Structure formats: C-alpha cells, structure tokens
Structure 1
Amino acid sequence: MGLTILIAVFVLGLVIGIPVAVTLGLSSLCYLLVMGLPPVVMPQKMYAGMDVFVLLSIPGFILAGNLMNRGGITERIIRFANSLVGWIRGGLGLTNVGASMLFGGITGTAVADAASIGGVMIPGMKKAGYPADFSAAVTAASSTVGPIIPPSVPMIIVGALSGISVGKMFLAGAIPGILMGFAMMITTYLIARRKRFPKQAWQGVGEIGRSFAGAFWAIAMTGIILYGLLSGIATPTETAVVASLYAMAVGVLIYRELPLRAIPGIVIDSAVSASGILILVGFANVFGWILVSERIPQAIAAAVLSFTDNKFVVIIIVNILLLFVGMFMETIAALIILFVPLLTLAQAVGIDPLHFATFAVLNLMIGLTTPPLGVCLFVCAGIARQPLTPVVRAIIPFIITNISILLLVSYVPALATWLPSIVLQ
C-alpha cells in the first residue's frame, strides 16, 4: 500500500508540473504517514544524504563557473574557438560546439553552458544568417558535453553515491566527452554543407595566437582542477575552493571585467543554485531510502536477470530505461533514485562500476535535450525566441549522433576505463 502511494503521488506531481524536489519530498512524506513511520525520519535521511564531504565541491564549482563567466570567459572562449573553426562551412555552429567543450570543462553543468554560450552564440548565429531553430538546437545539444568533460556535477553525485573516486569519474568522462563533441561537429558540418550555411573568412594564425592568449587563463582552470585531483594534493572540495579563488583573481586582476562590488551578488546566486541541488539531493535520498527498504533494487535486478543474464542485453535495457527516464526527470534526481539499483544489476552481470557510471551519466545528459522536459531545450528555445516544435525537429540529428556515441561508450568499456587506469594506478 505504502509503495503504491509513493509511486502514485510521485507520478502525479510530475504530471501536474510540481518541481521534482518538492515531488520527491511530498511523495516520501505520504509514504511515511501511510506506513505509520515517524515524520522525523525525513529530516534525518535528508541530512544523511547531504552530509557527504565531496558534495561540498558542488557549490565551489558552481561559484567558480559563475565568477569566470561574469569575468569575461564566455566571449574569450568563443573567440578562440571561432579562430580555429570559424572559416569552415557552418563555422559558427562548429564554434558553438567547440566553445561548449571548453566552457563545460569549467562549469561542469549543462544548463549553465546552454544559458551562457547560448546567450552569445544564438543571437550571433541568427544575425549571421543561420536559422533560429538550428542555432538553438546546436547550442542545446552541445551543452550536454559540459557534464561529461571534467569537472562534472553529475559525476560528483555518482562518486558520492557509489564510493567511486571522483578523480576516476572525471577521467572516465574525458574521452567520451571529446568523442561526443567531435561527433556533433561532424553532424554540424554535414548539415551546414547540405543547407549551405555561411562561413567566415580565414583570420590567420595570428588571430589564433591572440585569441588563445586571451582565453589561456580561462582554459588553464581545467588544468588546475585536474592537477589538484590527480596529483592527490587536494580533495575535490579543496580543488573547488582553489578554482573559485583562481576564478576571482583572473576576473578581477587579469581580465579586469569582474568588479569587486559584483562578487557578493555572484556568491549569493551561486549559493541559491547550489542549495537547490542539495535540497534535491536530500529529498531524493529519502526517496531512495524508501526504495531500498522496499527492496526495489533487488526486485529490479531479479526481474531483469530472470529475463536475461547477458551483459550486452542488460546494457541495452539499462540504456533504454535511462533514456526514457531522462525525458521526464531531472538528471540529479534520476541518478540518486536509480543509480544504486541499476549499479547492483550491472555488477551482477559483470559490468565494471566505473564504466557503468560513465554511460549512465552520458545517458541522462542526452535527456536534457529530449522532449517533453529537456531543460536545455527549453533554455535555448527561449533564447532563440522559437516555439519548441521546430527546435525539436532541428535537434533530432544531434540526438541520433549522441545516442550513437552512447552506444559506442556502452559497448567499448576501454573508452571510459583506459584513461583512469593509466593515470590513477
């Protein structure tokens, strides 16, 4: 009875548009009341879910990204990417993807990428003669690279849930993220050639050098983050703090586009964003505890294993499930609720936990661009001032491309496990 109430309230909340965090909390509270459990269990489990040291890195990385963005990073990264690929047919589309790859390596969140890069690139592409729906589609699709290339907020969540090293998680996402970015560049180029999108004049090697010099301090932030983690001299939380201080120093002293009076507002905005994520983590932990107490992970594993114990079949089942869930549920909530049960299943058929974690995150990132609730899709359609339908049509080739990379990563474990194995032995 209690489980039925839990699922019914949760589904109803999603259908009528209640925020996911509130829906998780409300459905969990209904379960506790129906089962006669003391309501004090909810704050206890919420606190237990949030009281994980590595989660403190999330506010730090969000703050670092916001400081760098306000301090002039977006325009410099776009200029550098444009100097490299802007002269090719559809060059601004290629620049869009390249900028997302660079920018995502700083913020770690897809929505921040979509809003920041999209705010500059979408109007610029429209002005240069690109269709508005394509401009929004390529921005939304490329923004999903951010949480794959390190650092990555979803990877931090997975590390906290599973005990997998966050450093290993970051490295595991590097090759899939780069593959995803280059695959979208190829897709962009093919579409641009077919539709005769414009291209810019070659600006010369000098412009590459000048733009790289301008973007160097921004790009170097990714190196600092990875060095801190991989060298072992700093935890993810300490690395996030260093990244925030670095971002503030670069914005104030080097780029000189970050006024000191703006910093308190940026800190407050970052705190609000981070608190939203952590509240979601807390409520999702209560929901997940209920599922575990009802032995749902074991039931899922038993149901699938009764059908097949073939590792390759299980991978495709998991991919289909996560792609479907990603269409309707926020990424972090989906990870907290489903990751542990599905990891139990994956390990039962011999899938490496690091490999599984990588393609699970990649899967849910694709969900950010799929209707009906793809957040990045809505953000970019809003910036482009386009109805959702034409943007959905325009993004279909990119979704197909990203699913192709997902399948490649799913069935070639070395793409996720090779780099961590040689760097972190």
Structure 2
Amino acid sequence: MTPALMLLIILLMLALGVPIAFALGVTAVAFLLLLTDLPMSLIVQQLYQGTNSFPLLAIPLFILAGSLMNYSGMSKRLINFALSIVGMVRGGLAFVNVIASVFFGAITGTAAAASAAVGQIMIPIMNKKGYAPGFSAATTSAGSSLGILIPPSVPMILYGSISGISVANLFLTGIPIGLMIAFGYLIVAYFVSLKQDYVVEEQPFSLRNFYKTFLDAIPALLVPAIILGGIMTGVVTPTESAALAVLCGLVAGFIYKELTFKKLMNALEDSVRNTALVMFIVATATILGFSFSSLGIGQQMMGPFMAFSDNPIMIMLMASLILFIGGLIFDGTVMVVVLVPLFLPLVQATAIDPLQFAMVVIIVWGIGQQTPPVASGLYITTAIAKVNMLKASKYNIWYISVLIVALIGMIFYPDVMLYFPRLLVQ
C-alpha cells in the first residue's frame, strides 16, 4: 500500500507541475517523518551522500566536455566527415545523422547533448532535402540514445556508482552493444528511405573530399580515442578521462579558432545548469531510495520475485517491464537511482551476470527516452523539427524496435551479446 501511495503522490505532484527533484524529495521526507522516527539530520546526510562520490565527479566533467564540443565547431566538422562517407547513398542524410550520433555518443556521454548538437545541424538539412520532418526528428532522437550506450556514458557512470561495478568495464561493454544498435538504426534508415523514395545526393564519393574532411575532423575524432585508450590501458580512471575530455575540448576549440571567450562562458553556463539539474535529481532520488529501505518497501516489492530466483530470464523480463513502466513515468536518472537498487540484491543472489543486467537497464533507459509521455529524446528533436510527437513516433517505432531486439537478445542470448564485450573486459 505504501509504495502505491508514494507513487500516486509523486505522479500527482508532477501533474501539478512540481519539478521532479522536489516531487521525489518532498514525498520521501514526508513519509520518513510520518512513518519513522529518524532524525532530520540523517535525511540531510543522505542528501549529501547521494552526490558525494568520486565516480560521479565524471558527470559534470563530461557534461562540460560536451558543451565545449558543441561550441568549438566539432559538430559541424564531424557531420561533414560523415557526409563524405555515406552522404551520396539513398537515405544518406539519415545515415549521416546516425553516424554523427555515434561520434557524439563517444564524446558527450549524454543523449540530450547529442540530440541537440546533431539535431540543430542535421534536421534542417534533412527537411530541406525533402525528408519528412517526423522522420528527421525520429532519426535524431533515436541516434541520441547512442549517447548513453557508447562510452563515455553518464548513465553508466551513475549505474556504476550505485552498483559498485567498474565504470571502465561498463564502458568497454557498451562499445560493441552501442555499435550493434547503431548498425540496426542504419538498416531502419535505409528501408524507410527506400520506401519513401528519398533523394540520392548528386555528389559522388570523392577521395579528396573524404581526405579533406577527415583531416579537419582529426581533433574531434581524437577525443574518444584518448578517452577510451586511456581507460583501456589503465593510464586513467573514467573520472580522470572526463577531465582529459574537457582539456581536449579546450584544445580543439583553440585549434579550430571557434571557441571565443563568450562561447567558453556559454559552455560553462550550460554545463553548470545541466549538472545542477542531474545532480539535484540524483540527490533527492537517493533520499527516496533511502526511504524505501527504511520503510522496508524494497523487501515488499522484491518478495514476489524470489519465487523466480532459479529462473534468471523471468527475473530480467519482470525487471525490464517494471523499469520500462518507470521509464514511461520518470526520467532515466530517477529510474536508475530509485529502482535499480531494489533489484541489485536479487541480481547478486542469482546467476545473472552483473554486466548483463547493467546493459538491460541501460537499453531500457534508451527505450524510455524514445517513448512518450517522458520521451526526453523526442522532446528536443521535435522542437527543432517543428513537428508534433505523434508524427515523429510513427517513424520512431521502428528505431525502438531495434532497441527491443537488443533487449531481447541481452536477456535470452547473453553469451552472444556479450561475446565481444567480455573479450574487451578480460
């Protein structure tokens, strides 16, 4: 009864327009004060400890790095490079959109930054060339989910801080999974473009143009190489690699001569605002998680799951369903901070591979970003494309199906899905 009542109050507050961080925090504190005799000082301590984590330090750094990339001219050069590779095939601009999202996923670590950076450039170009605005928005939105699958990934940092799993291992696991999903997106983009008979660019492939755009994009392409190379060789931790990413963004901005003092201030302002938003939600969601623990809600919710403790597939199917429903209601950050800790003891008590469950959570997070009513990815791209969410969702359902196939594969065929990631982790 208590969990349902807490959820109902949170949903009511959200419907009234209360910011999600306040809705979570107020609900948690109210129930703790009413149903327990815990001192307020302990609640304040939990609020502080929710963000007092060295791995979480990577979040503001990667957010800042992403802002620097956007203001330093990297987005334009990366997209030009992608255009030189696949811009001349049918649906080539949709291909470019996905490939650019892969690049930005390997730089920014967040879906919002990737969708904003790619969308502001690609959506107007695609619309001008005759692509349906809904398709342009859907392709950009789906591609933005690669930002949480391909490292450096802020959600993976958050998951690692909660679960205790090595963030470096999560990063290495996400590389092949993210690239497989990106390949699935390319297949969808091709068949939709074929069906809609979208234009083929007149300009043929040019080795000279490829070479020129590649040279121009080298500083941008070096950023993920430095980040992942440093982590894989053990030279830096994921948090230290985030500081390296900021340094790379500054250097690239000066190389391209586009990062003016005003743009630097704008990047700092954007990163401070986005960091505050994420970390405040993390802090208040931590209090909500603490209230679950203090009120024994975790044991109540996990009781029915224990009947399937000898059936890992059933556990993950049920967990995916609950996480998916949570993703329809909450932002992915809230979903992970609040719901994932409830499942971790069950995962540890069964034969479920921790990395397998982590990827299930991240993929479901990606699905939630594309699925209304929350659909954080679609909100950004539909605003840029000036199209309603229904028209974009008509196309986006095919991209979501790629994520669902990846989720099913991760649950039922983990040895296949994790074959290459396990080689990298070892």
| Matched letter for residue 127 of structure 1 | K
Which segment is superposed worse, 76-85 or 305-314? Answer: 305-314
| 1:25 counterpart = 2:11 | no
Q: State the match for 2:339 in structure 1.
A: 338
| 1:289 counterpart = 2:257 | no
| Matched letter for residue 250 of structure 2 | M
| Matched letter for residue 227 of structure 2 | I
How much does 1:373 deviate? Answer: 1.2
Q: 1:16 to 1:423 in 2, by over 3 A?
A: same
Q: State the match for 1:111 in structure 2.
A: 112
| 1:83 counterpart = 2:115 | no
Q: State the match for 1:316 in structure 2.
A: 317
| 1:385 counterpart = 2:386 | yes
CA distance in 2, matches of 1:293, 1:33: 11
Show structure 1 runs of 4+ deviating over 6 A: none
Which segment is superposed worse, 161-170 or 299-308? Answer: 299-308
Q: State the match for 2:12 in structure 1.
A: 12
CA distance in 1, matches of 2:103, 2:88: 19
| Matched letter for residue 22 of structure 2 | V
| Matched letter for residue 75 of structure 1 | K
CA distance in 2, matches of 1:424, 1:384: 40
CA distance in 2, matches of 1:44, 1:164: 24
Q: State the match for 2:194 in structure 1.
A: 193
How much does 1:359 deviate? Answer: 1.6
CA RMSD of aligned residues (A): 1.8
| Matched letter for residue 24 of structure 2 | L
Contact 1:5/1:30 (<8 A) preserved: no
CA distance in 1, matches of 2:306, 2:5: 27
Contact 1:137/1:394 (<8 A) preserved: yes
How much does 1:415 deviate? Answer: 5.4
Q: State the match for 1:166 in structure 2.
A: 167
| Matched letter for residue 300 of structure 2 | A
Contact 2:308/2:314 (<8 A) preserved: no
Which segment is superposed worse, 202-211 or 140-149? Answer: 202-211
Q: 1:281 to 1:415 in 2, by over 3 A?
A: farther
How much does 1:151 deviate? Answer: 0.3
| 1:40 counterpart = 2:28 | no
Contact 1:175/1:415 (<8 A) preserved: no
How much does 1:3 deviate? Answer: 5.2
1:194-233 mapped onto 2 (5 Å cutoff): 194-200=195-201, 201-233=203-235
Contact 2:308/2:315 (<8 A) preserved: no
CA distance in 2, matches of 1:133, 1:420: 34
Q: State the match for 1:407 in structure 2.
A: 408
| Matched letter for residue 246 of structure 1 | C
How much does 1:308 deviate? Answer: 6.5
CA distance in 2, matches of 1:388, 1:97: 20
Contact 1:9/1:26 (<8 A) preserved: no
Deviation per residue, 1:47-71 (Å, 9 max, x gap): 1111111111111111111111110
How much does 1:2 deviate? Answer: 6.2
Q: State the match for 1:143 in structure 2.
A: 144
Q: 1:415 to 1:226 in 2, by over 3 A?
A: farther
Give the TM-score taking structure 2 as reference length.
0.95
Q: 1:423 to 1:182 in 2, by over 3 A?
A: closer
Deviation per residue, 1:361-414 (Å, 9 max, x gap): 111111101111101111111111112221121211111122112211232324
Selected match of 2:250 from 248, 251, 255: 248
CA distance in 2, matches of 1:164, 1:144: 22
Partner-residue secondary structure (3-state), 1:210: helix
How much does 1:234 deviate? Answer: 1.8
Contact 1:141/1:399 (<8 A) preserved: yes
Contact 1:139/1:380 (<8 A) preserved: yes
How much does 1:81 deviate? Answer: 1.1
Q: State the match for 2:134 in structure 1.
A: 133
How much does 1:17 deviate? Answer: 3.6
Partner-residue secondary structure (3-state), 2:370: coil
How much does 1:22 deviate? Answer: 1.4
CA distance in 1, matches of 2:401, 2:141: 14
| Matched letter for residue 25 of structure 1 | G
CA distance in 2, matches of 1:183, 1:151: 21
Deviation per residue, 1:143-163 (Å, 9 max, x gap): 101110010000000110011
CA distance in 2, matches of 1:243, 1:293: 39
How much does 1:307 deviate? Answer: 5.3
| Matched letter for residue 358 of structure 1 | M
Contact 2:174/2:421 (<8 A) preserved: no
CA distance in 1, matches of 2:301, 2:8: 19
Q: State the match for 1:120 in structure 2.
A: 121
How much does 1:424 deviate? Answer: 4.1
How much does 1:265 deviate? Answer: 2.9
CA distance in 1, matches of 2:44, 2:419: 41
Q: State the match for 2:179 in structure 1.
A: 178
1:90-105 mapped onto 2 (5 Å cutoff): 90-105=91-106
Contact 1:106/1:222 (<8 A) preserved: yes
CA distance in 1, matches of 2:418, 2:402: 22
How much does 1:42 deviate? Answer: 2.5
Give the TM-score taking structure 1 as reference length.
0.95
Unaligned runs of 5+ in 1: none
Selected match of 1:234 from 230, 233, 236: 236
Deviation per residue, 1:95-140 (Å, 9 max, x gap): 1011001111100100111111011111110001111111111111
